[in-house]
Amino acid sequence: MLKNPEHRLETIRDKRDLSVFDICSIDDLNIKDIDLILRLAREFRQIGNKKYSLLKDVTVFNAFFEDSTRTRSSFELAGKKLGADVINISSKDTSIKKKESLLDTAETLNAMRPEVIVVRTSKAGIPYFLSKHVNASILNAGDGWHEHPSQALLDALTMLDHHKTLKNKTVTIIGDILHSRVFGSLVRILMKLGAEIRIAAPATLIPQDLEKTFSCTVYYDVEKALKGVDVVYALRVQEERGASGYISTIREYSKSFGVSAKRFALADKKAILMHPGPVMRDIEVHSALVTMDQSRILNQVENGLAVRSALLWLCAKRIDNRHKKIKLI
Ligand code: CP
């Protein structure tokens, strides 16, 4: 007899916890953690729009101090589908506007005993700082130019849906590497999963010593970077972080690095196109490619909901019942 969805999830979880309380970086996760998150995410995706009581009596604060469509709504939807109380807060409608410090804000939220605080912020390192001051699990939903771990997990799931393994597969990441927290997490997970990584960008948008920091090869010629690859991953030019000061014009950038049909055809026949969104059509990717068969851009969004469901369940309901040892105010 088929088990019900919650039983199937429990079976996959097999009484396991993540090795960490907080996910501020992909480097916090070992390969077993990643495997568990992705296996659970596949099951959550399979189950679809059903409601659960897996997170009954759980409180999640969704603290977004920077704009978001995909990440905020999918964490909120995931929490609600799993039966948690989800409270959304932003800098626009909190006492941060009255100059309350972030630490005081965090300790105030923590005093309400949430199990998880999801945080997006324009400042790199804030999730790590918070993780040292609150008992709730901190999930980094994007911090400045640093990292966006749940994005990398959903990206890995999307690649593995298509290619089964990333060992001996090549991923070309094109665009604004310098300002991209998506890149910060993606490069780390791709290295853990054994992919070969190529970078294509104008020299001004590549951080110094990138090839020494990460196992990757830098190309300044996008067409060479695309030859025979298995995944084409375009990044947004982050004008809100000053990227336009690093290129001559957006039009010139698009001409030199935009993914066109002709350029995409240089990749392997089975290659897929990805982008974390929001896509600036006809800048990073030519508009017609966004919805072509090989595009996985909306699959990434669907996988985001599944991955974030898995993350919330794993972080909010620990089997080992251990808690962070932080003295509450
Ligand atoms: N990819 C991503 O983080 O999108 P949002 O800014 O819409 O959440």
Q: How far is the CA of 312 from the centre of ligand 1 (A)?
A: 18
CA distances to 19, 145, 291, 295, 298 from 273, rounded to whole Å, are 32, 23, 10, 5, 11
The Cα–Cα gap between 54 and 172 comes to: 38
**How confident is residue 327, by pLDDT bands cut at 50, 70 and 90?**
low
pLDDT tens digits for 51-104? Answer: 889 999 999 999 999 999 999 999 999 999 999 999 999 888 888 888 898 889
Record the tokens describing residue 22, joined without a space.
Answer: 């907080």
DSSP 295: B
Residue nearest to atom 3 of ligand 1 (CA): 71
| Mean per-residue pLDDT over the chain, rounded | 94
Which residue of 62, 64, 71, 307 sits with most ligand 1 atoms within 8 Å of its CB, as the best mutation to test the pocket? 71
**How confident is residue 316, by pLDDT bands cut at 50, 70 and 90?**
very high
74 C-beta closer than 6 A to ligand 1: no
The Cα–Cα gap between 106 and 128 comes to: 12
Taking a C-beta distance cutoff of 8 angstroms, is the pair 62, 308 a contact? Answer: no
Taking a C-beta distance cutoff of 8 angstroms, is the pair 234, 259 a contact? Answer: yes
Q: How far is the CA of 4 from the centre of ligand 1 (A)?
A: 32
Sequence-distant (6+) residues with CB within 8 A of 48 are: none
Residue 318: Cβ within 10 Å count: 14
68 C-beta closer than 6 A to ligand 1: yes
Whole-model pTM: value is: 0.96
304 C-beta closer than 6 A to ligand 1: no
pLDDT tens digits for 120-166? Answer: 999 999 999 999 999 999 999 999 999 999 999 999 999 999 999 99
Record the tokens describing residue 244, joined without a space.
Answer: 């336009």
The Cα–Cα gap between 239 and 257 comes to: 16
The Cα–Cα gap between 112 and 133 comes to: 14
pLDDT at 328: 56
pLDDT at 295: 98
Element housing 121 (H / E) = strand 116-121
